[in-house]
Amino acid sequence: QLANEGLDYDVLIIGGGLSGIYSLLRVRELGLRVKVIEAGEAEGGTWFWNRYPGARFDSESYSYIFSFSQEVLDEWNWTEHFAPQTETLRYIQFLTQKFDLKKDMQFNTKIKSAHFQSPGNSWLLTDESGKQYSSRYLITAIGILNQTTLPAIPGINDYKGQAWHTARWPSDHSSLEGKRVGIIGTGATAIQTIQEIYKTVGSLTVFQRTPNWTAPLRNTKISPAEMVEIRAKYPEIFRKCLESYSCFIHVGDTRKTTDLSKEALFAHWEELYKLPGFAKVLGVSTDIATDREANRLYSEFNAKKIRERIKDPAVAEKLIPKNHGFGTRRVPLESGYYEAFNEPHVKLVDITGDPIERVTEKGIKTRDEEFEFDVLIYATGFDAVTGSFNAIDFQGTNNTKLKDVWSQGIQTFLGLTVKNFPNMFMIMGPHQMFGNIPRSIEYAVNWAADFIHYARDHNIQFVEATQENMDRWYRHVDECGQGLLANEVDSWMTGVNKNLAHKQRRSLTRYNGPAPGYRKRCDDVKARNYSDFVLG
Ligand code: NA7
């Protein structure tokens, strides 16, 4: 036990997704009093909210599973190589049941503010109803993509038909049958949605501002016999993930792209294209991420594949990204996305040529055309990473607001802590390794739990990052990103959201270096007994 008399809990955790439930497990193992507070009506986080048709992994199911429990690995069976949202949510529910987590979880509770109390060295959280909760430590497990953004287009409230954001999909999935549907966006979410809903809707109109590179997922079922083989390989799978740059099982090719002739390259890439999953994104030569000519060649290969799959050459050209190279934005994987545009009832509207002027009562008006819809779907993404933090009034020592600290650029130490916000650990905070998320969550939660464990054993009540270490971390994150073509492109990963006034310019949002290097740095801090921190 901590010497936390007078406090409701030793540790409060905001968020009941994968980060929150694993944090709960680890903190509970320390014998501490802990509570998860979750806004949704049930556990699952990202996988609770994103129920749009077609939502699924594009990393291998068995590389996504938590590795901490042999029992879970023995008992849980995946039925598809790339599990749909329904199966992932079932997996999360399986975890909460197995470890009886719900007794320490409170749902339907939105935290409005989190204020550090000094003196007292504790956190005081207030929910929307005004109820308060206090603890020594605070773990933020609030995700990186949950604050939905709608397009900054006039007239959104004028629309009289049904409309929703993909991350707020209504429970009645059958409701699109035969309907005239419009969808704005062609990011990862839109691609998964479009390739699924076009099969049943009456008509589908896709409003595209920026085409995205995407490549085949090639999902298949997992038979019970195959699941036995996968289970035997778990140690190897986790080892591969830990050794790789971004925690996936695919390992980058270290050969220089331009050492091979174009014919040899294209023949090699044809073989990769046939493979499932991110093989054709992460298994290619790593210089595609940094070398302009390598990237140009691989983009040319992928453009050729798109042209092969689209019947109308004019539509194919619209679907081929011209202003960013392959892999410089998140490459979602698709299953029949391009073929959807070969159907007569699916229309692609390139809004760079014919901009949307407004949403009307009946649908959308572009400069040249007016569209009527029964349903309008906003696949327009999120106020990523910092949006989750800005939705809560985080106040640290000396009344410092986190929003203000980050207003001119994100500052953290290890992506896990921030000066002036003592006793607070961020799971999947900015400047932290993301990659294959559960692998990164497991590491970050273990690191935070180990720190709390150490503090308890050494009677430490106060842990705080220093400005010097935050500055050093910023420089390190910046250096990791040098030379990456992805950092020359607007995307949520470079901090841009054109619908938000404060996110018009690129900023350093995520950790760009290799995951093993990230973990080594965090391990070193632990090995120094956290002496990089102010401990009190
Ligand atoms: P993304 O990747 O941010 O995509 C949002 C899409 O919506 C993208 O195509 C945007 O075009 C488009 N968008 C946003 N606002 C507008 C307006 N005003 N007009 C037209 N088009 C617009 O979000 P997702 O949900 O698809 O994916 C997020 C992550 O979730 C993904 O990376 C996966 O890791 C899981 P733009 O590109 O800005 O021109």
ipTM: 0.99
Q: Please indicate whether residue 153, judged by its CB atom, sits closer than 6 Å to ligand 1.
A: yes
Angle at 391 between CA 390 and CA 396, to 5 degrees: 55
Query: Shortest CA distance to 414 belongs to which of 493, 469, 479?
Result: 469
Give the Cα separation of 91 and 80 in Å (integer). 13
| 14 in Cβ contact with 426 (< 8 Å) | no
- CA 200: distance to chain centroid? 28
| Ligand 1 atom with least separation from CA of 209 | 39
Q: How confident is the model at residue 3, as a pLDDT? A: 58
Q: Quote the ligand 1 centre to 106 CA distance (angstroms).
A: 31
Q: Whose CA is nearest to atom 27 of ligand 1?
A: 188
SS3 per residue for 255-283: CCHHHCCHHHHHHHHHHHHCCCCCHHHHC
Mutation pick for ligand 1 pocket among 380, 428, 440, 490 (CB with most ligand atoms within 8 Å):
380
- Is residue 449 a contact partner of residue 526, using CB atoms and an 8 Å limit? no
CA distance 458 to 453: 9
Q: Is the CB of 435 under 6 A from ligand 1?
A: no
pLDDT of residue 5: 73
**Residue 24: Cβ-neighbour burial (10 angstroms; 0-12, 13-18, 19+):** buried
Alpha-carbon gap, residue 515 to 505, rounded angstroms: 26
Which of 189, 217, 352, 378 has the most ligand 1 atoms within 8 A of CB, as the residue to mutate? 189
Measured by CA distance, the residue closest to atom 29 of ligand 1 is: 188
CA 235 to chain centre: 25
Cβ of 145 closer than 6 Å to ligand 1, yes or no, is yes
Closest C-alpha among 82, 84, 48, 88 to residue 66: 88
Stated as kind and residue range, the H or E segment containing 71 is helix 70-75
The answer to whether the Cα torsion of 149, 281, 143, 220 is positive or negative is: positive
What is the per-residue DSSP string for 146-200? -SB-----TTGGG--SEEEEGGG--S-GGGGTT-EEEEE--SHHHHHHHHHHTTT
Encoded amino acid at 374, one letter: D
Find out whether the beta carbon of 193 lies less than 6 Å from any atom of ligand 1.
Answer: no
Q: Residue 238's pLDDT is what?
A: 97
Phi and psi for 43 in degrees, rounded to 5? -70, 160
CA dihedral 151, 402, 124, 122 (to 10 degrees): 150
Q: What pLDDT is recorded for position 174?
A: 61
The closest of 498, 488, 492 to 510, measured between CA atoms, is 492
- Separation between Cα atoms, residue 12 and residue 27, nearest integer Å: 10
Atom in ligand 1 nearest the alpha carbon of residue 166: 25
Query: From first to last of its 536 residues, what are the pLDDT tens digits of the chain?
Result: 455 679 999 999 999 999 999 999 999 999 999 999 999 999 999 999 999 999 999 999 999 999 999 999 999 999 999 999 999 999 999 999 999 999 999 999 999 999 999 999 999 999 999 999 999 999 999 999 999 999 999 999 999 999 999 999 998 766 899 999 999 999 999 999 999 999 999 999 999 999 999 999 999 999 999 999 999 999 999 999 999 999 999 999 999 999 999 999 999 999 999 999 999 999 999 999 999 999 999 999 999 999 999 999 999 999 999 999 999 999 999 999 999 999 999 999 999 989 999 999 999 999 999 999 999 999 999 999 999 999 999 999 999 999 999 999 999 999 999 999 999 999 999 999 999 999 999 999 999 999 999 999 999 999 999 999 999 999 999 999 999 999 999 999 999 999 999 999 999 999 999 999 999 999 999 999 999 999 99
What H or E segment, with its residue span, contains residue 138? strand 132-140
Phi, psi angle pair for 47, to nearest 5°: -80, -10
Sign of dihedral through CA atoms 24, 84, 248, 287?
negative
Token code pair at residue 445 = 């939660």
The whole-angstrom separation of Cα 304 and Cα 149 is: 33
Q: What are residue 281's phi and psi, to 5 degrees?
A: -110, -50
CB 176 within 8 A of CB 164: no
Contact 498 CB / ligand 1 (< 6 Å): yes
For the Cβ of 189 lying below 6 angstroms from any atom of ligand 1, the answer is yes
Rg (CA), the chain: 24
Ligand 1 centroid vs 96 CA: distance in angstroms? 32
Q: How far is the CA of 203 from the centre of ligand 1 (A)?
A: 22
Q: Is the pTM of this model over 0.90?
A: yes
Inter-residue contact 460 to 2 (CB < 8 Å): no
Query: Can you tell me the distance from the alpha carbon of 187 to that of 184, in angstroms, rounded to the nearest whole number?
Result: 10
| Cα–Cα distance measured from residue 98 to residue 271, given in angstroms and rounded to the nearest whole number | 42
